[in-house]
Structure 1
């Protein structure tokens, strides 16, 4: 375990970089997934087609393929940038499909009379969705949405393999490959870093689930 304490600053920086990747990906996935869920339940057929196609493509495509496309395909069509942002983009695109389905299941659980009442008082589809349906739907999607987001945090390790740099995956690679440290203690340090993110996230989501259950 000495390797962890001897390289504590390296692990700390990797933890903070991984935390940054996860935070940005969570925000992007929630925003994009909510928009796509709105498309999925839209009364406009082209929007429903876009939402359905989005989910079918990204939910059934391996994350590594999505990341390869973002990292190596986008530059081929003139979209250039740092691998950090390519990695986050791929993670957001992939996770948004699962977020969309979790939110859509919550929307479908809201009694139809709620949306009908909103339309009866003159609200548009967008207004009824954002002010009436979604606030009720989000209370029921905390457990599945939490599972999706925790899976995304673990998937961020795959993003590190695409040259993002500085994250926990890169720390493990640096210590084992460049410095010749023993793999087992290095990987234990990496695992502990991810557990420091996923366990508090699980506790927070459990508290949030109980909180909204009481409020319903």
Structure 2
């Protein structure tokens, strides 16, 4: 029987904004240890040397002229994947936190369950640590449970996600779709099936997260508003649950 890797086309998309300190280690690891997977770096209008590094090293990359944010970078990658006919897209952060060794487990889970999205979860079989960031994550998990009839997603903020062909088209061309927890709630209420696979994540190789204390508070406010209020007025595609 043929393995998953020989019967499916998989593209890894790597959104990168000012990841000059990380991007070489991330891509070199893929090229050396996971050559069975195609990849594309989405340089999201970086102001550091991310683009120069990608060009100098001969990486496969798209160069967005301005910073569009994570949603815009993901949308660009999804359109690339759709154009070239990929069956799956794996979102892999450019900061070195996500380990590609779990990709095969995620694909196996998608094939086994027939789900639309698989999340690489730090908390599928492990408990969340007690700190301010994880408390915020847990609150978002509960918010999604409340608004989706009890559907549980343990790691709502994980950026390591596998998408099938249907989701590639939706995230690529529908304005309602962004890689955030509120979209997970919306998708669950649309009948989209989401599963999780336990993974381990590394510490960021270089740089800093944009979610400082002030931005984290604002982020949580936006997510709660969207989960509890805005998702109910978002347009649902034909055939989705009402």
Q: By the TM > 0.5 criterion, same fold? A: no
Larger strand fraction of residues? 2
Larger helix fraction of residues? 1
TM-score (norm 2): 0.23
Structure with larger Rg: 1
Could you say which structure has the greater relative contact order, defined with CA pairs below 8 angstroms and 6 or more residues apart? Answer: 1
